[in-house]
Amino acid sequence: MKKINLVYLVIILNLILAAGQLFLTSLRAEGGSTLSDLQNRAGKLQDDNQRLSSELYAKSSLSYIQSQAQSQNLIHLQPQFVSPALPIAVVSVAEP
């Protein structure tokens, strides 16, 4: 009788431990897929960050800003230069 109870106890304990091992294995597998998803997302975010950084540098350049201002008719297409004149002090002293 005692041997039969011991055998049943060992079998039940073995089944419980096997079920626990299966449960822990499934948790680790799920954690691995979650980690993989997070790593993929981090890589995508790094790529997006690099692309957005390049766009920012391109759109903040003076040539881009000038071309946008010209396309919206905010500036004249041909630049106008101011010719250097004599300083006012020289002009007023020269005129008697």
Instruction: Tell whether 79 is covered by a domain.
Output: no
Instruction: Tell whether 32 is covered by a domain.
Output: yes
Say what the pLDDT of residue 68 is: 87
Range of the domain at 59: 2-71
Instruction: Tell whether 18 is covered by a domain.
Output: yes
* Residue pLDDT tens, the chain, 96 long: 677 888 899 999 999 999 999 999 888 888 888 888 999 999 999 999 999 999 999 888 888 888 888 888 877 666 666 666 666 665 555 555
Instruction: Tell whether 23 is covered by a domain.
Output: yes
Instruction: Tell whether 39 is covered by a domain.
Output: yes
Number of domains within the chain? 1
HEC assignment per residue over the chain: CHHHHHHHHHHHHHHHHHHHHHHHHHHHHHHHHHHHHHHHHHHHHHHHHHHHHHHHHHHCCHHHHHHHHHHCCCCCCCCCCCCCCCCHHHHHHHCC
pTM here is: 0.48
Q: How far apart are the first and last CA of the chain?
A: 137
Instruction: Tell whether 37 is covered by a domain.
Output: yes
